Structures are given as structure tokens and as C-alpha cells.
């Protein structure tokens, strides 16, 4: 991997993400001359909203001029995630009761953008628009919408629940550790990592047992599991903390069994030995049974 140039789509996505992040420029300049509260007014009051809309329209126009076809599709998604990350930072840095929602927006947009970028680095052959994981599944989208609904309803009816700073900090730590573990797994597995579980062994596919794979058999799933629950802890969403934990636990239990069936088929005794030595990393999930 060292010294290899990042594929064009990866480079375009970085430029577009940074362009999206430029929504921060105007409030940053204004903050230098005014009070920090102004940053939040920028997002909530009409003049600020108009400025953001014009800003987004201008950068989208720039992307339309600079890129065509598939590259534009990559750029517009990366730029959208950059805008969300920028707005998340604005909310996080302003003195309001919405700080934790700002952290959440940053976590969500960074996760989806970095999935694409890291795939472009480690396995460019498998890189598609789906690598952003934005349309992962109907269940995933429903889960995201449910968490926004729960957050809004509870913020309106029981606002004190959303001000448990210590709980949001615990959520933030789960998100940061989960994200770091997942990306470490992707970088360790390299081209052996794939968002789609492989049922046929590629010639280049080798068994990875080093780095984070020496501690957990499924480190990227462990990271994703704690990241997803962490986002709900961060939002102090009791219903979704429970719902996300149960749903993602069930999802990974099934996925691990399916994946290990193929891995035993690919690597036979080597995988069985590895499986005996190293746990999955997820609580109460032991993977496929071997007779």
C-alpha cells in the first residue's frame, strides 16, 4: 500500500469533502468579530439560513462545472457529508442546548465519508458509490430516522434528559473508540476487507490474523457495534440505545455466521485454528459452530 497513489475518486472525494466543509468559513470569520452565540444564530435565523443555502448552491455549481457523470456523483455525496460535518461543528462549538446533536452530526458524516475514503485507499477495485454506506439498507435508514424522531420528541417533552453531559461524553468515547477500531481493522485487512461478504475466494485473499485481528476475529464489526450504540448514548435516546443494541447485535450474529462459513471454506484448518485462539469480540457471539 505504501507509496501507491490514491485513486482519482478518492482524491475527488477529499476535495469535495473539504469544499463542503467550507460552510464553516463565513461563521468563522464572523465569530472573530462577534460573539460565539452568533454561530448558532447563523444556523437558526433566516439570514444565516439564506447564506448557507446560497453557499451550498454555489459549491454545487462548482462541482457541476468541475466534474461529470460518475465523478460528480462521488463529489456531490462527499460534499454533502462535508457540509453536514461543518454544520455539526458549528452547532458543537456554539453555546446552546444542541451541542450533543452537533457531535452526533459530526460522528455520522465522518463515519460515512471515511468508509468511502478508506475503501479507496485499501481496496479501490471494490470502490463504488455504495462504499459511502449511505443506502446501506432500509432497516439502517429506518433506524437513523427513528433516532432523530426520538431525539426531537424527547427534546420537546423532557428537555432535561438531553442535558446529561456525562452520558453524552460516554457516548462520544464509544463513538471515537468504535470508529478508531473499525478503521484500524479496515487498514489492517487491506484488500481482504470488503463491504460485501465474499462467497468466492479471490486469488489474492489471504487470512489476516495480525494487528487488531490478533485480539478480535471481527474487529470492524466490534467497532461498528459500539459506534452505533455510542451515537444513541451521545443523544441520550433511551429507546434507541436499547433498539440499536439489540438490532445491531442480531445483525452481526447472523453476518458473522454467514461470513465464517465462507472463511472456513476458504482457509480450512487455518481458520478453524484461528477461531479457537481468538474471540469474535462481540458479547455472547461465538460464531459458527465447528464439529
**Cβ-based nearer residue to ligand SAH, 225 or 244:** 225
CB of 136 to ligand SAH, least distance (A): 14
**Cβ-based nearer residue to ligand SAH, 146 or 194:** 194
**Cβ-based nearer residue to ligand SAH, 148 or 193:** 193
Q: How many residues sit in the footprint of ligand SAH (CB under 6 A)?
A: 17
CB of 115 to ligand SAH, least distance (A): 12
**Cβ-based nearer residue to ligand SAH, 29 or 197:** 197
One of 192, 214, 249, 279 touching ligand SAH (CB under 6 A): 192
**Cβ-based nearer residue to ligand SAH, 22 or 194:** 194
Q: How far apart are CA 291 and CA 275, in angstroms?
A: 13
54 interacts with ligand SAH by CB under 6 A: no
219 interacts with ligand SAH by CB under 6 A: yes
State the CB neighbour count (10 A cutoff) for residue 183. Answer: 18
Closest listed residue to residue 132, CA positions, set 79, 57, 67: 79
**Cβ-based nearer residue to ligand SAH, 151 or 213:** 213
Instruction: Considering only residues 128 through 187, tell me which ones interact with ligand SAH, judged by CB under 6 A.
Output: 185
78 interacts with ligand SAH by CB under 6 A: no
Residues 10/124, Cβ–Cβ less than 8 Å:
yes
> Would you call 246 helix, strand, or coil by DSSP?
helix
**Cβ-based nearer residue to ligand SAH, 262 or 286:** 262
Instruction: Considering only residues 232 through 291, tell me which ones interact with ligand SAH, judged by CB under 6 A.
Output: 259, 262-263
Q: How far apart are CA 137 and CA 7, in angstroms?
A: 27
Give the CA count within 13 Å in the CB-facing half-sphere of 14: 10
CB of 233 to ligand SAH, least distance (A): 21
Question: Helix count (H) and strand count (E) of the chain?
Answer: 10, 0
Closest listed residue to residue 139, CA positions, set 239, 243, 241: 243
Closest listed residue to residue 187, CA positions, set 130, 134, 120, 252: 120
Residues 52/22, Cβ–Cβ less than 8 Å:
no
221 interacts with ligand SAH by CB under 6 A: yes
Q: How far apart are CA 216 and CA 74, in angstroms?
A: 33
* C-alpha cell recorded at residue 80: 454533502
Q: Nearest 5°: phi and psi at 23? A: -60, -20
> Interacting stretch for ligand SAH, rule CB under 6 A, among 72-80, 119-127, 219-227, 230-238?
219-227
CB of 253 to ligand SAH, least distance (A): 12
Closest listed residue to residue 149, CA positions, set 232, 44, 49: 232
Contacts with ligand SAH by CB under 6 A lie at 185, 189, 192-194, 197-198, 207-208, 213, 218-221, 259, 262-263
Amino acid at each position: 500500500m505504501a507509496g501507491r497513489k490514491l485513486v482519482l475518486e478518492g482524491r475527488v472525494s477529499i476535495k469535495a469533502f473539504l469544499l463542503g466543509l467550507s460552510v464553516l468559513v463565513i461563521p468563522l470569520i464572523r465569530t472573530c468579530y462577534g460573539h460565539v452565540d452568533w454561530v448558532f444564530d447563523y444556523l437558526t435565523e433566516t439570514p444565516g439560513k439564506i447564506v448557507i443555502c446560497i453557499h451550498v448552491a454555489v459549491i454545487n455549481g462548482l462541482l457541476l462545472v468541475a466534474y461529470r457523470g460518475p465523478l460528480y456523483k462521488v463529489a456531490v455525496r462527499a460534499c454533502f457529508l462535508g457540509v453536514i460535518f461543518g454544520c455539526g461543528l458549528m452547532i458543537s462549538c456554539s453555546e446552546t442546548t444542541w451541542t450533543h446533536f452537533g457531535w452526533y452530526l459530526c460522528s455520522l458524516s465522518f463515519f460515512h465519508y471515511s468508509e468511502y475514503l478508506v475503501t479507496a485507499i485499501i481496496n479501490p477495485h471494490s470502490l463504488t458509490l455504495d462504499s459511502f454506506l449511505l443506502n446501506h439498507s432500509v432497516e439502517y435508514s429506518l433506524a437513523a430516522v427513528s433516532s432523530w424522531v426520538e431525539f426531537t420528541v424527547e427534546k420537546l417533552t423532557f428537555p432535561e434528559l438531553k442535558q446529561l453531559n456525562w452520558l453524552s461524553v460516554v457516548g462520544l468515547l464509544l463513538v471515537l473508540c468504535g470508529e478508531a477500531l473499525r478503521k484500524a481493522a479496515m487498514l489492517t485487512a487491506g484488500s481482504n476487507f470488503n463491504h460485501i461478504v465474499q462467497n468466492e475466494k479471490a486469488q489474492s485473499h489471504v487470512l489476516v490474523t495480525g494487528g487488531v485481528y490478533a485480539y478480535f476475529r471481527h474487529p470492524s464489526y466490534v467497532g461498528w457495534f459500539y459506534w452505533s450504540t455510542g451515537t444513541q448514548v451521545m443523544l441520550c435516546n433511551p429507546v434507541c440505545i436499547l433498539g440499536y443494541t439489540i438490532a445491531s447485535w442480531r445483525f452481526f450474529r447472523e453476518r458473522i455466521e454467514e461470513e465464517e462459513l465462507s472463511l472456513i471454506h476458504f482457509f480450512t484448518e487455518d481458520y478453524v485454528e484461528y477461531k479457537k485462539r481468538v474471540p469474535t469480540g462481540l458479547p455472547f457471539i461465538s460464531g459458527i459452530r465447528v464439529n
